Chain A
Amino acid sequence: MAPRTIAPFGPQHPVLPEPIQLKITYENEKVVDVVPALGYGHRGIEKACELNEYPKNIHLCERICGICSCMHGISYCEVVERLWPMEVPPRAKYLRTIWSEMSRTHSHLLWLGLLADALGFESMFMQFWRIREKVLDLLEMTCGSRVTQSVSVVGGVRRDIDDEQKKICIRTLQEVRQEAEALINVLATDPTVKARTVGKGVLTKEQAILLGNNGPHLRASGVKEDCRMLGMQAYGELGFEPVVETDGDCYARALVRARETLQAIDLQLEAFSKMPEGEIYVRPKGSPPANEAVYRCEQARGEVFYYAKGNGTRKLERLRVRTPTFANIPSLLVMLPGSELADVPIIVLSIDPCISCTER
């Protein structure tokens, strides 16, 4: 038997912008065992949310993760709205959908860039991030901030998109779609990309379900499951159909995310054309009653689960957030053993890990 070596992967590693550690045991370049060590990003947001009054928690929840920030804010507002329960105006629902899809577009472009970077395809990394800046400009124009959008409040949204902005959005999104499509074609057909991703980190349909995976990671294994099918916000009126691939390897995951990027742009364009006129905010009455609610929403990385429990006061009794990466990390314990050491960064990246989400 060859000698075994244990190598720490992280917490500070060039592939990962965020701190997570994987203790990898390997034998002749073959990975034998993996133990994840978390905790480098744990802040204790769930507890902090019990200390503040419920409208202030929006700011905390948006800072669970900076990349999916917009959707965390929206999910928190939706779960608190369900405690009454109360209904938000239709225009606010459309605006929430548009901002969700906009942040999905920027998140997927970011991930596609990081994948290219992990493969050593520097120029493609730069190109994806160049396109992404256009989406960030749109977010800045409509929300006022590049990263933490902070547009959603309990009862609706804070800002409206006027006709002038709408025109700019539609024009820019069409440009982005064209440029992204061209780049994605290169990514999907390039032989070196295929050599590094096809057949790596394979997860079958049964394994993926039993491991509780979600999001693009689950859909790449051939399971047609997407929280947007629940029809919350305006998705029910947009004719949404999830993107599914069947191979379950890193290449399939990249394809799912690439196709979802284009789909997200189409959804935004459709939402712009169907958006009704009207109010964007209703004032919630008093404090949330003693009730519980759950809400699930499809973020860029997968399904996020929010649970809230009110007790009739202005503070929440309990808030629980289960983020997509929290459920996707156990799949690494199955995918990594047996793979080559050199493929570890790609396989880890293929679940689109978001550590600050995971540990809150």
Chain B
Amino acid sequence: MIENLKEISKDTLLQEVQKFADAKARFVTTVCSDLGDKLEVTYYFNYSPGVDMVALRMVVGKDEEVPSISGIYLTAVLSENEMFEQFGLKVKDMAIDFGGLMLLGKDSPVKPMVKDDAAAGKGGE
């Protein structure tokens, strides 16, 4: 159960994030998870000073492109690159684009976190 969760769509993402930036909230992180045919992306923020977290959640298709929030919060650039590498989520206009080679090497498995991908894991225990 996640507290203070708000469902949004990718069209309103930038507006919603801008509100946090105006209120001087701190960006915590993004969490992407694979729902099978869609991806669920959750952005976590923290009003500063304070310790309570607020979350924005959107569900997007696997081929859809989402806008980057790195124009507002530069620090999101690492999380967004990570989502692109691990889940293949396309993020438009990232401030620094590592081109899928931020964490993974050239020979590493592609999109390793996707559930149905055969290359993902080397098997059980």
Listed in ascending order, the chain A residues whose CB lies under 8 Å from chain B are 35, 38-39, 42, 44, 46-48, 50-52, 56, 206, 209-214, 223-227, 229-230, 291-294, 296, 303, 305, 307, 309, 317-318, 320, 322, 326-327, 329-331, 333-334, 359
Contact = CB atoms under 8 A, between A and B. Distances in A.
Contacts of B78: 38, 326, 329-330
Contact of A210 (B1, B73, B79): B73
Contact of B73 (A50, A212, A291): A212
A245 B28 CA distance: 22
Given A39-B105, A209-B48, A227-B51, A47 B120 contact: yes
A60 B43 CA distance: 25
Shortest Cβ-Cβ A-B pairs, 8 listed: A212-B75, A322-B29, A42-B103, A212-B27, A330-B75, A318-B33, A320-B31, A39-B103
A47 B34 CA distance: 12
A227 to B, nearest CB: 6
B102 A39 contact: yes
B51 A225 contact: yes
Interface of B: 1-2, 21, 24-29, 31, 33-34, 44, 46, 48-51, 53, 73-79, 86, 96, 101-105, 112-113, 120-121, 123-125
B49 A225 contact: yes
Contacts of B48: 209, 223, 225
A52 B1 contact: no
Contacts of A211: 73-75
A296 B50 CA distance: 13
Contacts of B28: 212, 296, 303, 305, 322, 327
A209 B63 CA distance: 33
A320 B28 CA distance: 13
A51 B122 CA distance: 9
A230 B1 contact: no
A143 B18 CA distance: 47
Contact of A39 (B50, B76, B101, B112): B101
B3 to A, nearest CB: 8
B119 to A, nearest CB: 11
Chain A CB count within 10 A is highest, among B25, B48, B101, B113, for B48
Nearest to A242: B49
B29 A51 contact: no
B121 A51 contact: yes
B53 A291 contact: no
Contact of B75 (A44, A226, A309, A327): A327
A225 B49 CA distance: 6
Given A52-B125, A294-B2, A327 B29 contact: yes
A35 B78 CA distance: 12
Nearest to B34: A318
A227 B113 CA distance: 29
B122 to A, nearest CB: 9
A292 B34 CA distance: 14
Contacts of A44: 112
Nearest to A333: B74
Given A292-B1, A330-B77, A46 B113 contact: yes
Contacts of A334: 74
Nearest to A228: B51
A211 to B, nearest CB: 5
A269 B76 CA distance: 39
A56 B124 CA distance: 12
